[in-house]
Amino acid sequence: MKRIVIVGGAGRMGQALGEGLGAISEFSVTALVDVHEPRERFGAIYQASLDDLEPGSVDVVVDFSNPEGVVGSAGWCARHGVGLVIGATGLSEEQRGAVEDAGTKTGVIMASNFSLGAVLSERFAAMAAPYFDRVEVIELHHDKKVDAPSGTSLAAARAIRDARKKAGLAPLVDPTVRQTVAGARGADAGDGVMIHSVRLPGLVAHQEILFGGPGEGLTIRHDSYDRQSFVQGVALAVRAVSSAPGLTIGIDSFVS
């Protein structure tokens, strides 16, 4: 049985993971780590820091806290040879460097989205990208999300760009020559792939990838209505991290 510690255990995602992972028979959520004491513990103990835990009692750390918390988890896991699964986004280059360094000492899996549907929608978008003249991404999240655009939309844009380059296609050129309101056309995520970010209460995580060509369009939409939608993807990463040395970006390789 894999013994899991969740960093950010008092947050909404940490609570969802505590409930969801704890219900899987092969896992035991042994501790919720957070500066704030979690509302629910799901049979786990509460600790304010990873340093309060005995490293030998932990198989995998799952961190959905924040970029600063991820750096601390990366250092702790690297020192003790504990696998690390990261779901926090918005890391700076320096913070990402700390994660990459940890990957030289232990298994690390980092993904912008652990929903299996989101992984598949990105895969479908890469398949469609060479066949359409235009593409834009609309990502919609709850109003407490602090970074924009989402890591999921950036990953989708990257997959689209890579697929177009592989097909020998030139970067997209926006035909709009005048913006009455600056930024109305969204943000260029590279090679003309535009991303539009929406933040509203009541949302969880949603994304539309819109393709357009002569006389037709294709929309690939994915909706996470509840944070439990991320549990199965995190479970895949927890199972794989001990046998996946180094740093692995995304869970696509674990979804057959």
Please give the positions annotated as active site. 141, 145
Kindly list the distances between the CA atom of residue 26 and the CA atoms of 4, 14, 29, 225, in Å, as whole numbers in the listed order.
11, 19, 10, 26
Strands 134-141 and 205-213: antiparallel
Angle between helices 231-240 and 116-128 (to 10 degrees): 90
Distance CA 83, CA 65 (A): 16
Residue 110, token pair as written in the block: 């980092």
Diameter of the chain measured on Cα atoms: 62
